[in-house]
Amino acid sequence: MKILVIPDIHGKFEDAFSVINEHKDHVDKVVVLGDYVDGYEQGLDNDSLVNDFWMLCEMARKEPDKFCLCLGNHDMSYISSGRDAIYCSRHHGDMTNYYREMFRDNLDILNVVYLIDGCLFSHAGVTMDFYKRVVGQFSKLNSKKRLSPDNERKWESLNVNPFNPETLNFIMHYDFNSRKNGISYFDLMGDDVYGNSDDASCVWVRPWALFEAKNWPPRIKCQVVGHTRIGLGAFKSGSRCLIVVDSNDDKERKGALLDTTLIDEIPWKEVTHRGRKKPQNIDEWLEAFLK
pTM value > 0.85? yes
CA atoms within 13 A on the CB side of 137: 16
Range of weakest confidence among 14-23, 147-156, 190-199: 190-199
Q: Average pLDDT in the 132-158 region?
A: 81
d(CA 128, CA 248): 28
Range of weakest confidence among 2-11, 136-145, 203-212: 136-145
Q: Identify the CATH number of the domain in which residue 178 sits.
A: 3.60.21
CB 71 within 8 A of CB 173: no
Identify which has the larger pLDDT, 191 or 145: 191
Contacting residues for 281 by C-beta, under 8 A, at least 6 apart = 194
pLDDT band at 98 (very low <50, low <70, confident <90, very high): confident
C-alpha angle 256-59-69 in degrees, rounded to nearest 5 = 55
C-alpha angle 61-7-248 in degrees, rounded to nearest 5 = 160
Is 90 exceeded by the pLDDT of residue 168? yes
State the SS3 of the chain: CEEEEECCCCCCHHHHHHHHHHHHHHCCEEEECCCCCCCCCCCCCHHHHHHHHHHHHHHHHHCCCCEEEECCHHHHHHHHCCHHHHHCCCCCHHHHHHHHHHHHHCHHHEECEEEECCEEEECCCCCHHHHHHHHHHHHHHCCHHHCCHHHHHHHHHCCCCCCCHHHHHHHHHHHHHHCCCCCCHHHCCCCCCCCCCCCCCCCCCCHHHHHHCCCCCCCCCEEEECCCCCCCEEEEECCEEEEECCCCCCCCCCCEEEEHHHHHHCCCEECCCCCCCCCCCHHHHHHHHCC
Is 80 exceeded by the pLDDT of residue 281? no
Report strand pairing: 222-225 vs 240-244. Answer: parallel
Query: What domain count does the chain have?
Result: 1
CB 138 within 8 A of CB 185: yes
Show the domain range for 122: 2-289
